[in-house]
Amino acid sequence: MEKELRVVISGGGTGGHIFPAISIANAIKNKWPGAKILFVGALGRMEMQRVPAAGYEIKGLPICGFDRKNLLRNFVVLCKVWKSQRMAKGIVRDFRPMVAVGVGGYASGPTLNTCASMGIPCLIQEQNSYAGVTNKLLAKKVQKICVAYEGMQRFFPAGKIIVTGNPVRQSLLETPVGREEAIKGFGLDPRRKTILIVGGSLGARTVNESVMMHLDEIEQSGVQVIWQTGKYYHASILEQLKNRGEMPMLKVLDFISDMGAAYKAADLVISRAGASSISEFCLLGTPVILVPSPNVAEDHQTKNAMALVNRQAALYVKDAEAPGKVVSMALETVQDEEKLASLSKNILKLALPNSADIIADEVIKLACRL
């Protein structure tokens, strides 16, 4: 009879936290099919939909971040933190986890603090090259810290660090279609060079503005573009494009459900510099131009990007410079076979495969210590 294994996984807020968390859970299940896994997230955040869709139970806490612009609102935030701490204690007592995993995000704070205070071994996973606030606060209380970048001892105790890389969506690595089939699936021409432009599920305003400002250049280039606008901007962009007539070289989508096919179709990608996206590019060997979002804590996307740029593994454009620069750079780069090959070769060197399996092994080891 298989020994019991009960794991709580906490965190979320963005796909960059949620996708690795689900990948870790899947890896644990593959190694220990009877494992009981419970997620704890923040109410109103995307994990409350994405985790159940992946087949796992999730409990929500009313926690949110501090408001740095309006300090008076933080009284309400403190009340939510206090309530979340109490709720986390109830969840942990009822579920009785043997090990806790934190992936960053608001909910992981009260959940892992509670587990640590009850003597439950804890592991955190830090996706970025610049550690998040919650993980930095938890570092002293956990047994293991799994990271994706070298040099993280400036944030965490060196003896606890394991360089594992970031788990990515397994479906991206198992995409069965080839380049030609993938491009045809988007209604485009396999004989043309293809640029994929993504700004996350909600979109990226600056990236979208960059494309709109250079439509004539795209139309005359002989290059075709798959453009994920994000749901927030999609209707407005379609309305603006009505005045231009047909643009068969431009495939405009609000959201791309099959990112594996999109990456297969692309000769070059323009993207934000989120940690999960970068891990995907490394594993797939994708040539990429990174436009880091300026609207993130500690400007960590720029730090993520520079970790690649300093190894000639990606190109980089500041967000403020993107409207005047990024499309022209992409149209030039996508026609440069030598540059594409160099970027692909160098980014593949940074790949850390089997991250989810390595982290799952560490989780199971901690649980079996009890």
Of 34-38, 80-84, 252-256, 293-297, give the lowest mean pLDDT range.
293-297
pLDDT surpassing 60 at residue 260: yes
Side chain identity at 56, as an amino acid letter? Y
pLDDT surpassing 70 at residue 67: no
pTM of the complete model beyond 0.85: no
Closest CA to 267 of 185, 346, 332: 332
Q: Kindly state the average pLDDT of the residues 224-231.
A: 92
User: For residue 111, what pLDDT is reported?
Assistant: 96
> What is the full DSSP assignment across 255-314?
--S-HHHHHHH-SEEEE---HHHHHHHHHHT--EEE---SSSGGGHHHHHHHHHHTTTS-
pLDDT surpassing 90 at residue 19: no
User: For residue 352, what pLDDT is reported?
Assistant: 87
Q: For 108-146, write each residue's pLDDT tens digit.
A: 999 999 999 999 999 999 988 888 888 999 999 999 999
User: Which of the four pLDDT bands, split at 50, 70 and 90, describes residue 1?
Assistant: very low
Cα–Cα distance for residue pair 370/367, rounded to 1 Å: 6
Given a contact cutoff of 8 angstroms between Cβ atoms, the answer to whether 195 and 267 are in contact is yes
Task: Dig out the tokens for 187 from the structure.
Answer: 């209604």
User: For residue 348, what pLDDT is reported?
Assistant: 95
User: What percent of the chain is modeled with pLDDT above 70?
Assistant: 96
User: For residue 296, what pLDDT is reported?
Assistant: 75
Q: What is the mean pLDDT of the chain?
A: 90
Q: What element of type H or E holds 6?
A: strand 6-10
pLDDT surpassing 80 at residue 25: yes
Cα–Cα distance for residue pair 53/350, rounded to 1 Å: 31
Q: How far is CA 54 from CA 57, 204, 285, in A?
A: 9, 26, 27
Cα–Cα distance for residue pair 195/197, rounded to 1 Å: 6
pLDDT surpassing 70 at residue 318: yes
R_g (Cα) of the chain, nearest Å: 21
pLDDT surpassing 60 at residue 283: yes
Cα–Cα distance for residue pair 164/43, rounded to 1 Å: 29
CB atoms near residue 292 (< 10 Å): 23
Given a contact cutoff of 8 angstroms between Cβ atoms, the answer to whether 357 and 27 are in contact is yes
User: For residue 68, what pLDDT is reported?
Assistant: 63
Q: For 141-164, write each residue's pLDDT tens digit.
A: 999 999 998 889 999 999 999 999
Side chain identity at 129, as an amino acid letter? S
> What is the full DSSP assignment across 181-242?
HHHHHTT--TTS-EEEEE--TT--HHHHHHHHHTHHHHHHHS-EEEEE--HHHHHHHHHHHG
